[in-house]
Structure 1
Amino acid sequence: MKRSIVPIAILFLALSSVLSASAFHESQNRPPVGMERNEFSMRLFKILAGQEPGNMLFSPASVHIALSMTLNGAGSSTRDEMLGILSPPDATLETLNAETAAMVASFENLREGTALSVANSLWIDQHYPVSPRFVTDMERSFQAETASLDFNSPTAAKSINAWVSQATNRKIESIIDRLSADMRMVLVNAIHFLADWKYPFDANDTRNRVFHTSTKDIRTPFMNKSMSMHLIQVPEGQGVLLPYTDERMQFFAIMPDTGTVGDWLQGQDATLIDAVFAALEQPKTRVELSLPKFLDRFEKPLSRDLQTLGMRIPFDPDRADFSGMHADGLKDLFIGEVLHKTFIRVDEKGTEAAAVTAVVMRVTSMMPTGEQMVFDRPFVYGIVDTETRSTLFLGIMEHPQAP
């Protein structure tokens, strides 16, 4: 059967741990770290996809880690609400911290040609009486770098942005424009991914062809390859998996059979990500693949989207309880903004991607053979970590632009 998969949507960019087929099967015998996080990923992704026309890319892993850091300073109903959204029922903060630490630690021993770095930092207004215990928790559980700055100085934001640039290999140069008088703390997560394909595309085979966006047809460079690969079967859609040099990391692309990616996504849930991992257990199929090269950047404040997801109390200055951040246990902070930026480049050699999430704390008052796939219209893609089953990026590609 011949299939044509058309890319207009960057639906997923996730990171997947597949050290080997045997390692993958062994991992099925123990509870995967990231299973519940995938539900968080898909729910937030659908909220974003439902309101953002055009290309969209976000990192569920980065957002999750940044919010998990913030959760460590929460108390009472604020803590309960955040924990309920970030973790499965009956989970504890200690369990969540341990799972996050284990996931990040597992990225340290990737094979040559595949690199994934996760960095965290805590920036504190030098005039704010921060809890020493909270600082210790950030350093121990998240290996966060901590720094005290004069938030009234114009150089304070520059210091944070310089850290962001370094942590993302200069792919994201900044996350915050300036620090205002009511800001007391900024918690930042940064992720950088750089990997070569296990089977690179030949640049001599790259050809321009038509990509059908939701509004018009455009011509853009397509990479082409004929090889055996795992097919992804999902309701009313189909896709492929492409391994990086460390096969733990896998890129995937999924395209709906008909209609728009946005409409199709609204009928999906976390089982869509499960289907990506399930595909690795199936025999490979010979595929004639055409995939566009692309480079994309995306940024969006996520406060309203997280409130739509159900995380409302932390953003309410009258109800938020982040007493764990204050040295005397005062309830004087709330989440003012959650800022998010991403970057991705996909070409013949491999993939580079980066994400930054900043949680800004404000004071409450002034206070088969013949199979063919041509991704020439909206499609879903990603990178998955099959060992921890964690989603690192999710996005939508409406209009590919060559690197």
Structure 2
Amino acid sequence: METSTLTSHTGPVRELGRRWLPSVAADPGVRAAGGDFACSPTGLWLALAAVAAGARGATAEELRALLGVAGDEAARAVTDAARGLARTDALAVATGVWARVPVHERLRAALPDVGFGTLGVSGTPDAAPSPPVDAWVREATGGLIGGLPVHLSPGIALLLVNALALKARWADPFDASETRDRPFTDASGAVHPVPTMHKQLPPSAAWHVGDVRVVELRCETRGDAPPALVRFVIGSPGRPAPEVLPAGWAPARLRAPVDADKVGVALPRLSLRTHLDVTGHGHAQALGLARCTGGDADFSGLSPEPLAVSEVVQEALVRVAEKGVEAAAVTAATMRALAFVQARVERIAFDRPFGVVVLDASGEVPLFVAWQATTPLSP
């Protein structure tokens, strides 16, 4: 039976990944990069779930449909999931909130592992990220990501940032002397020589999920915590990423063993970094995010000020080499203050004969009454 550090939230994270991957692959920046990308479904889920902790009404229902949680249950889920993930050796998880508006004390208490701070006021509309937030990002990712992936401006009322970072060695590193150039056929059909690592593995380290082949490498553990697992997936020629990648988290019942005594792996060294605007380029539509970014958003559980999501941006990287793997993702959600909705006004002008009634404190006894029929005289 499979276990997960995300426990009951595993399903929603996997489903978010399944829904998100097609729009990631179609993102203009990804297409311009030839189809290369790195992203973190878990990082996005954690960031949006922390935002959803303050959602109410229809906004909460929209986020619940994507995340599986919203409102008070989302706050508990963020805490439980982050603590569960942190039990994976060499994996760091952190979430921080910086605000220019009040944040309900009840929400702060419901997110005990989230750091809260004040967002400094900037002097220009296109201000760079404030150094304290950039420093937090660098520390939270062990220097893998150098700063916040969004620009801060005076119009940002609240910033929420989630960071995931993994720096791990392979339990059985590749022999660097075996790394040599090998042909790699890219998505366009062009062939290039690339540095490729080689290793032989036991057959239990590989399996099939349909026509997708999966190879698993284990990371080294430095104590009693279980290590991270890294799976490499490859489908039939021409199969797109959104169809192939989910095989990496397919349940054991869908896996078919390889029919071999050993598995010879030829794996290119790689370094991928991607910047994704999750509220643009079709991502929001794919994820069903509309109300939380609109003028009728309801985050009244987060702040007494009316807020809506402005941007959700993620920067992610994955590096694989002979000694190990490095991966990090920073997901930033910015929120703007909504203008108060103009109240409906019933205008009553006393511009013709009218009466005046002065009553006692009970509102029952007419102490004085008057009727103004002619042009009023100023006292």
Q: Shorter chain as normaliser: what TM range?
A: 0.7 to 0.9
Query: Residue type matched to 2:310 in 1?
Result: G
Deviation (angstroms), 1:253: 1.0
SS in 2 for 1:208: strand
Q: 2:46 aligns to what?
A: 65
1:292 aligns with 2:273: no
SS in 1 for 2:220: coil
Q: Deviations over 1:287-325 (max 9, x none)?
A: 011000111211111113133321110011x21111122
Deviation (angstroms), 1:32: 4.7
Q: 1:193 aligns to what?
A: 166
Q: 2:24 aligns to what?
A: 48
Deviation (angstroms), 1:81: 0.7
Deviation (angstroms), 1:133: 2.0
Q: Is the 8 A contact 2:197 2:269 kept in 1?
A: yes
* 5+ residue gaps, structure 2: 342-379
1:137 aligns with 2:116: no
Distance in 2 of aligned mates of 1:322 and 1:108: 28
Residues 277-286 or 58-67, more deviating:
277-286
Q: How does 1:131-170 map to 2 (within 5 A)?
A: 131-138=104-111, 140=112, 143-152=113-122, 157-170=130-143
SS in 2 for 1:57: coil
Q: 1:105 aligns to what?
A: 83
Distance in 1 of aligned mates of 2:115 and 2:256: 37
SS in 2 for 1:323: coil
Deviation (angstroms), 1:226: 1.1
For normalisation by structure 1, the TM-score amounts to 0.73
Q: 1:249 aligns to what?
A: 228
Give the direction of change, closer, same or farther, for the CA distance of 1:201–1:106 in structure 2 (3 Å limit): same
Q: How does 1:226-245 map to 2 (within 5 A)?
A: 226-228=200-202, 229-245=204-220
Give the direction of change, closer, same or farther, for the CA distance of 1:26–1:210 in structure 2 (3 Å limit): closer
Q: 2:277 aligns to what?
A: 301
1:359 aligns with 2:313: no
1:121 aligns with 2:96: yes
SS in 2 for 1:204: helix
Q: How does 1:374-389 map to 2 (within 5 A)?
A: none
Give the direction of change, closer, same or farther, for the CA distance of 1:277–1:104 in structure 2 (3 Å limit): farther
1:259 aligns with 2:235: no
Deviation (angstroms), 1:73: 1.2
Q: Match for 1:338 among 312, 315, 334?
A: 312
Deviation (angstroms), 1:363: 1.5
Query: Residue type matched to 1:324 in 2?
Result: G
SS in 1 for 2:264: strand
Query: Residue type matched to 2:172 in 1?
Result: Y
Q: Deviations over 1:221-276 (max 9, x none)?
A: 101001214223123321211111246421111111221434xx35x696762246
Give the direction of change, closer, same or farther, for the CA distance of 1:64–1:33 in structure 2 (3 Å limit): closer
Q: 2:153 aligns to what?
A: 180
Deviation (angstroms), 1:44: 0.5
Q: Match for 1:312 among 276, 283, 290?
A: 290
Query: Residue type matched to 1:233 in 2?
Result: H
Q: 2:15 aligns to what?
A: 39
Task: State the number of aligned residues.
Answer: 324
Percent of pairs with identical residues: 25
SS in 2 for 1:56: coil
RMSD: 2.8
Distance in 2 of aligned mates of 1:296 and 1:360: 25
* 5+ residue gaps, structure 1: 1-24, 368-403
Give the direction of change, closer, same or farther, for the CA distance of 1:339–1:94 in structure 2 (3 Å limit): same
Query: Higher relative contact order by CA 8 Å / sep ≥ 6: 1 or 2?
Result: 1
Q: Deviations over 1:156-186 (max 9, x none)?
A: 6222111111111111111245322221000
Give the direction of change, closer, same or farther, for the CA distance of 1:39–1:284 in structure 2 (3 Å limit): farther
For normalisation by structure 2, the TM-score amounts to 0.77
